[in-house]
Amino acid sequence: MNPRRQVTEHLLRTYKSALIGFAGVFVVGVVIADIVAARVADPAPGIWMYVAIAFRYWVGIIAVIFISNNLRQFVAVGVTRRDFMAGATAVGVLASVAFAVFVPLGHGIEYAIHGGSGFSAATGFREFAATLVSCLASFVAGSAACAGIYRFGAWGGLALVIPALLPAAAATIFLTTDSDGQIAADHLSFPLALVVCLVATAAVAVLSHWELKDVTIRRSALG
């Protein structure tokens, strides 16, 4: 089997149940809150888009876990660092796409629970694009931040944490949405905000690759 595919499949098997479980509990909680809100408030406040922001940060946490928990395991059995990075990145992209589909779907269901009719295909596409780019930014930021500490140790890696987190910061500033799925900030047009976040993500992806491409495998992620 291709080692990159092997990494991807192993990581999916290992973490799929936890991700689905967290998402399931999350959805049940929001649905209950929405049903209660629809009964006691008129108009009912939108909850989904505020709490769905958590999906973005989960993807960043996934990247940290991959490097701190799984890198050493795969290298020990002969998988190259490059193949591990490619396989782990594939999981990050799949998770980002899944969450990007999940967010507008959940928002549409929330509108139906509230009896509203303001949700549109344009709103759903905007939420999909914002969530996808934000999740990718978070994944790359988490990877670069953890990789810097993994390579240089707790103190040496701190200097790289700020540049590593730039994609996540850009997504938080430019792509945070309100309860109606509208972009909360008006600093940039939506297409330009996407471009800025993608450029920051690509730049930090290069940093993450440099940090990991020949890193010494450590017993601890903190060096």
The answer to the question of residue 94 being in a domain is: yes
Question: pLDDT exceeding 70 applies to what percent of the chain?
Answer: 91
The answer to the question of residue 219 being in a domain is: no
Residues 88 and 203: beta-carbon distance below 8 Å: no
- Categorize the per-residue pLDDT at 56 as very low, low, confident or very high, splitting at 50, 70 and 90: confident
Q: Domain total for the chain? A: 1
The answer to the question of residue 110 being in a domain is: yes
pLDDT 10s digits, 85-123: 999 999 999 999 999 999 998 888 878 877 766 678 888
Mean pLDDT, residues 71-92 taken together: 94
Domain that holds residue 136: 3-212
- What is the number of alpha carbons within 13 Å of residue 92 lying toward its C-beta? 29
The answer to the question of residue 173 being in a domain is: yes
Residues 111 and 79: beta-carbon distance below 8 Å: no
Confidence at residue 167, expressed as pLDDT on a 0 to 100 scale: 97
Of 122, 70, 118, whose CA–CA distance to 91 is shortest? 70
The answer to the question of residue 9 being in a domain is: yes
CA pair distance 4, 90, nearest whole angstrom: 9
The answer to the question of residue 217 being in a domain is: no
The answer to the question of residue 181 being in a domain is: yes
Total-model pTM: 0.90
The answer to the question of residue 140 being in a domain is: yes
